[in-house]
Amino acid sequence: MKVLRWGQSATAIFLGFTFFGAGMAKLYAEHQFIGWIGPVWLIEQLEQYKLGLYAHFIALSQVVIGFTLLTPRFRSLGAVMLVPMLLNILLITISQQWTGTPYLVSILLGMNGFLLFMDAPKLLPLVQPDRIYIPSRLQKYTWAGHFIWLSGLLVVLGAIPLSFRFLHLSYGLVAGGLLLSFLSHKADPSFSMETKKAV
């Protein structure tokens, strides 16, 4: 079971880095951000057809979804949000007849399916209200923790326009925003089921 949990975390981080980097590379100054999937020129290409706003929306969505998968707090939500994003990319690549890309996107979709499968006990109550999800370790989320996580996301988003003037400073803000959100759970109390029974 520990191996599956480790695999779940590793998969989430990989997908998070993939889409976070993809979105940031599209929006960053001269596309100077680490990422391995493209195209980074999507915004410039679609602006020719008056679809620049749509392209910015796609890039920002990739940043937010990737950020959510990278940071543990709302990772399950990130996996759910990634489904329509991946299906959208899959259909576009099939329609454009991009060689090989649909297969790659299908692999990423399968990886996200693994995340959803692992989170099934948590997600099933959304469609089956009679089901109850009881985690092995209770984590009480607080508004303070939510605010810290959101602050980290806003810092990252703020680094994007800053990259056009102070590139290296913007990199530092991205790292700081990710770290801030990653540590947001420090603001929340947590206790195990055993501790609760003892009380």
Residues 28, 104 within the same domain = yes
Residues comprising the chain, all counted: 199
Burial of residue 149, with CB atoms counted within 10 A of its CB: 0-12 exposed, 13-18 middle, 19 or more buried: buried
Segment 45-67, tens digit of pLDDT: 889 989 999 999 999 999 999 99
Residues 84, 139 within the same domain = no
Segment 132-162, tens digit of pLDDT: 777 666 668 899 999 999 999 999 999 999 9
- Please give the C-alpha separations between residue 65 and each of 83, 96, 166, in angstroms, as whole numbers: 10, 24, 25
Instruction: Please give the share of the chain, as a percent, with pLDDT higher than 70.
Output: 92
Residues 123, 148 within the same domain = no
Reading the block at residue 183, the tokens are 């540590």
Residues 51, 38 within the same domain = yes
Residues 124, 141 within the same domain = no
Residues 96, 166 within the same domain = no
Residues 138, 79 within the same domain = no
Q: How confident is the model at residue 131 (pLDDT cuts 50, 70, 90)?
A: confident
Rg of the chain taking only CA atoms, in angstroms: 19
Residues 154, 63 within the same domain = no
What gap in Å lies between CA 108 and CA 101, rounded to an integer?
11
Residues 103, 151 within the same domain = no
Reading the block at residue 132, the tokens are 């109850």
Per the structure, the count of domains in the chain is 2
Q: Mind giving me the DSSP string for 80-139?
A: HHHHHHHHHHHHHHHHTT-SSHHHHHHHHHHHHHHHHHHTHHHHGGGT-TT-----SEEE
| Phi, psi for 35 (deg, rounded to 5) | -170, 155
Among 99-103, 112-116, 186-190, the range with the most confident prediction by mean pLDDT is 112-116
Identify the domain boundary among 109, 129, 149.
129
Residues 169, 93 within the same domain = no
**Residue 156, domain extent:** 134-199
